[in-house]
Amino acid sequence: MRIDEVAVDNTADKLLALAQFAVGRATDTSAKLQMPVQAFINRAKNIGIDITPDTLQSLVGQPPLSGIIEPMSPDATELIFKGGEQPGPTTMPVNQAQNIVAQAAKSAMNKDRNLG
């Protein structure tokens, strides 16, 4: 048996690993879960995958990449990783935060007075 009879093209697997790495880095740095298409292609070329934007768009529409990357349009400039739409931390209006702190301080003062 020859190697070309059993060897499979693992381009999609390598791209999946690259996408998972990018998601991990974005998560670690609290960055948006997206990256420029050209940057992704350049990183793919750095690990030995010769890919074009059209090929990438085609692969993103199929498993396993469809599980981690949102579908992309032909003119897309950004890859958006799934989960990227998650809302950020919610913020509280300043006056509400001040009221909470004031109530906590008042409560603490009342407890101190009742103990003595």
For residue 28, the model assigns a pLDDT of: 86
pLDDT in tens, 75-108: 999 999 998 654 444 556 677 777 777 777 787 7
Q: What percent of the chain has pLDDT over 70?
A: 78
Residue 44 is which amino acid?
A: A
For residue 69, the model assigns a pLDDT of: 94
pLDDT in tens, 35-64: 999 999 999 999 889 999 999 999 999 998
Q: At 54, is the secondary structure helix, strand, or coil?
A: helix
Contacts of 74 (CB under 8 A, 6+ apart): 54, 57
At residue 21, does pLDDT exceed 70? yes
Give domain limits for the chain. Answer: 3-88
3-state helix, strand, coil in the chain (%, to 5): 55, 5, 35
pLDDT in tens, 64-74: 899 999 999 99
Mean pLDDT of the 18-32 span: 89
